Structure 1
């Protein structure tokens, strides 16, 4: 029979406390040690604890770190969680003084500080992967600046462009996503320590000093908000979701482009699997894996945001422990997708012959013929559009490329205008070539070489700034680790 007066109830132990303990062992033990050390330095520096008390506590913390291996422990329920295990170890070594470390702090401010610290390297890693992918896309876009593709709208062939222009568009989106992710990463850079349970403390604590020793940019100001406002969670996962939503659209294009009927995107053998029964099949299944990894990652981000929905504006387990750990899966699946997409983009090539055939079959350059008639023949665009449409219908019916359809064009022009065209067969072929189409779209943002080169330079600058922001945070965290170690060591100097 279960003793209902003894904590913990065995079912609560097994379903809640033991998994939480395992999570701390995997993710938080080192962060809790860092918080303990930074808080102790502050307590001594402010005179809340004496130097002798600080030295004794520092020595005990060092001994616990050396003697207690989290990986070797099995949860028994003797101590509620890792925090109380460490405190019990301190009291075992120091007696009542062991409880002094918890002066002027709470599990509330500690937990959210701990969760932010655990997220920081994960965010830095996914930022680096996003930046690397953007760099890969930009390099590929430069290399494929002049490589023609058929661009699609509404699932139908629309106009010629270049693979470089297409990848530049995707790079712009990814850089905007990276900026949003960087802003969300900045949301992790303010320390809740010193908020205590809700209202700070009556002791003369130095919140800024603890923030500095833990590598934060500063303190999160309002103490109630430190333990209640979980917008660092919702903001981060909202921002993290977007790259995978947007990159999933790119992946879907790759799936369509690589289909046999379209065939303008080709993946090498290293990224293609064969059928177990159909010898003719080339299955670019990495595209499917990217698609589902992007969807799973976005879904995991949604889960984190939705878990916070309609929760009370206070300290709560809904934003702690197991919930925080559940979010880490998004970094795992997302990181795999980003690395795979970078490899696919680097290896992919455009099948120029298929592009040319598809362009001819669908008359994708016909818009430039209409524009040419406005410029060179003085037609209104609507009249030019009519002539171009009639020309396209005729050459498609005849099954010939648009570039050799001058006769069909001349008939359509005379029927619309009542006069003969001044465009001879050579001028007509030039106006309807994909190269002419691209070259004449030289306005900012267009696919013409000069316009793309200018865009590439701007993307380089944006990417460099984003990389600098990530490196700056990492440098501050590393400097804080060194400063904390030195300040902690100084507590034990005689």
Structure 2
């Protein structure tokens, strides 16, 4: 993984203990600079805090996750005077800030994997822009399509997920520090400087909102985001799973590497273990995501039910694992264009084109052409006739019968035999699509370029936010070390 990869591993140890330490470091520096903490005491308090943090970083060291369990270690290391840092603070605004910081890191991790999975899908879409496959509606083969175009449809959904993530991040990237419990404090705390030291873009504006409303609302929103991604993953997997019920699928997982496994009793079976595993993960993510709303429902403001950071991280980390599994599925897919085309040519998924050509080229009302094409399909299925073998003379007879059934004047089928055959060619249908956003080559080139541009913008967005947090914490460390070194 390159250093420029926005999904590079998060800084180790950014847990509750880490962020409580960062808040205390920032309080020490800011309150000293602004005259809220005696400059004569500050170096000793800073040195004691540094000792606590270093001890916690050692193997087996104590890393308390609550303010009330962190503070005794600080008192032991620096004396009771260290509690002067608590001026204008509460465990409520401190823990709200800790939780926001941890979820912010997890959102960026999720954003990186979302971008990677989307990027893999975009590359596959480019490789399969000309691969013609059946698409399905209501569980039935419906129309031919480019597999690349189908993938870009899923890419569009993932891009909306990424947009939702960025919107959530903007609401999460607000520091609650300095709001205390409900209505602030009489201490003139510099909330903006605290936010900058912790890498937040701004502060939560309303002090009551900070720990009472927003802190319980954000988990519901991140649950909704994770659920949306899980729904997209599940829909894609189910499309592939349908093929595993067929005797000759046109899309399968490459065998080996943990993608599939043999049945213990039936030698012919190659079970799609990877598909089942990722689908199961998607179901867990959706369950946890919906659970965020259930847990936050019908409680008074300020209760902790939905705020537990481990529960909320489980939702986001589950979504990240699910996306990684989805990417693995994409890489493992084996597509047979020949078998897909055979399936298309053995069914009548191109029949709508007959009605479209009759209306577009011969000005026949669509419903007349649709009725004719439907009667052709009914006759073909009743007599087991493939589209390529359907007799043109029979098409002419059915057309005359259609006109009679609809009380229209008698007339000849306006399509020539060549035109009739061409309308049933799935490859030609895709090539001749004219609608913006369709699978025709020119539109595929345009949409692929747009997808690559969006991926680049996502990478820049992730990197900028990671850099802001890292730079802010690095600056805090420099300023804190200067104070602690003066002890």
Same fold (TM over 0.5): yes
2:434 matches 1:447: no
Superposition RMSD in Å: 2.2
2:451 matches 1:463: no
Q: 1:331 aligns with which of 304, 316, 326?
A: 316
Q: How does 1:66-145 map to 2 (within 5 A)?
A: 66-68=54-56, 72=60, 82-145=66-129
Q: How does 1:367-446 map to 2 (within 5 A)?
A: 367-405=352-390, 406-417=392-403, 418-446=410-438
**Aligned to 2:262, what secondary structure does the other structure show?**
coil
Q: 1:359 aligns with which of 336, 344, 348?
A: 344
- Name the counterpart of 1:273: 261
Distance 1:382 1:96 in 2: 86
Distance 1:241 1:289 in 2: 17
Distance 2:67 2:125 in 1: 51
Q: 1:258 aligns with which of 221, 239, 244?
A: 244
Distance 2:248 2:209 in 1: 54
Asked if 1 retains the 8 angstrom alpha-carbon contact of 2:93 and 2:176, the reply is: yes
TM-score w.r.t. length of structure 1:
0.88
Q: How does 1:199-278 map to 2 (within 5 A)?
A: 199-229=183-213, 230=215, 231-261=217-247, 263-270=249-256, 271-278=259-266
**Aligned to 1:198, what secondary structure does the other structure show?**
coil
Offset from partner CA, 1:103-130 (integer Å, 9 cap, x none): 1211111000011111122111111111
Asked if 1 retains the 8 angstrom alpha-carbon contact of 2:227 and 2:286, the reply is: yes
> Per-residue deviation at 1:251?
1.1
Q: 2:172 aligns with which of 188, 193, 207?
A: 188
Runs of 5+ consecutive residues of structure 2 not aligned to the other structure: 1-12, 404-409
Distance 1:408 1:240 in 2: 54
Distance 2:263 2:158 in 1: 34
TM-score w.r.t. length of structure 2:
0.90
Offset from partner CA, 1:303-342 (integer Å, 9 cap, x none): 222211112113x33244xx22122222333222211111
Distance 1:205 1:164 in 2: 55
1:68–1:164 Cα change, 3 Å: closer
> Per-residue deviation at 1:493?
5.0
Asked if 2 retains the 8 angstrom alpha-carbon contact of 1:152 and 1:159, the reply is: yes
Q: How does 1:15-94 map to 2 (within 5 A)?
A: 27-68=15-56, 72=60, 82-94=66-78
**Aligned to 1:150, what secondary structure does the other structure show?**
strand
**Aligned to 1:318, what secondary structure does the other structure show?**
coil
Matched length: 463
Asked if 1 retains the 8 angstrom alpha-carbon contact of 2:23 and 2:198, the reply is: yes
2:168 matches 1:176: no
Runs of 4+ in 1 over 4 A off after TM superposition: 68-71
Q: 2:483 aligns with which of 483, 486, 491?
A: 491
Offset from partner CA, 1:239-286 (integer Å, 9 cap, x none): 222111122111111111332256121221122211111111121121
